Amino acid sequence: MFVLKKIITSLLMPQGLIIVLLLAVAIFMKKRLRIFTVVLAALIYVLSIGPTAELFIRPLENAYEPASLGEVKTCDAYVVLGAGANENTPDMHGKGTLGAHSLPRIITAYRLYMVAQKPIILATGREFDRKTEAEIARKLLLSFGVPENRIITETESVDTYESAWNVKEIADKYQLKKIALITSAFHMKRSYMLFNKHFRQIVPYPTDYQISRSGHGVLSFLPKASNLYLIDMAVKEYLGIIFYKLTLH
């Protein structure tokens, strides 16, 4: 009953409904259009199942393993890259919450801070004229007990390329030579590439893994919109890596 319920739910969700409707419509079409419609339905299905999403995102997440705690202790600071925030959403300490990928990064930074109390640099940048993510992340760290003088914010960059440049200026100001770079595992390869242009000593510490590494069960072959989202994120990273490989010198 559990598996049946999951199958029915999947087919009633938007991605499942689109596949079912395409197959239903194909029955009434002429041969060529029928073939095209069935192929389209099959393509949507393949792109929305877990194994396909894993093929795209696993190479990114496997690029770097989290460093040992011993290695982390040798760093001068923890650099946390931003990933967005939900402005004005309810929170117990006011308004604003971190996005789905930002929160694991901040939690990881806090856990590493508890291992070795090094400064935390919040490289959240800005979106147009808003600087809310740094404020929200800073507020959260303060509520965890991190002293205010151990939190440094970088709020001027608009992308990871600028974040690397601006964090380097902060590091030079505070004489920070070796950094632990904290970001989502799927984002680490591109981030490391950009920060490596400015820092000689980087300890990668990926977090926010999207793939469980536990193999594929029957349910992983049900179509889900979340798998399309993972493929979208992965393609964005691959395009960014290619772009910077062609333009960085």
Task: Tell me, yes or no, whether 110 and 194 share the same domain.
Answer: yes
CATH number at 129 reads 3.40.50.620
pLDDT bracket for residue 125 (50, 70, 90): confident
Arithmetic mean of pLDDT, 92-99: 86
Question: Can you give the residue range of the structural domain that contains 141?
Answer: 67-207
- Report if residue 212 sits inside a domain: no
- Report if residue 54 sits inside a domain: no
Predicted pLDDT of residue 124: 86
- Report if residue 9 sits inside a domain: yes
- Report if residue 56 sits inside a domain: no
Task: Report the predicted TM-score, pTM, of the whole model to 2 decimal places.
Answer: 0.90
Output the six-digit token pair for 123: 């490289």
- Report if residue 201 sits inside a domain: yes
The fraction of the chain above a pLDDT of 70, given in percent, is 97
Please, are residues 134 and 153 in contact by the beta-carbon 8 Å criterion? yes
The b-or-e profile of 7-21 (16+ CB within 10 A means b, else e) is: eeebeeeebbebbee
What average pLDDT is seen over the chain?
A: 91
Task: Tell me, yes or no, whether 76 and 107 share the same domain.
Answer: yes
Residue-wise pLDDT for 28-78, tens only, equals 888 888 899 999 999 999 999 999 999 999 999 999 999 999 999 999 999
Domain count, the chain: 2
Residue-wise pLDDT for 140-158, tens only, equals 999 999 999 999 999 888 8
Arithmetic mean of pLDDT, 99-111: 96
- Report if residue 238 sits inside a domain: no
Please, are residues 147 and 169 in contact by the beta-carbon 8 Å criterion? no
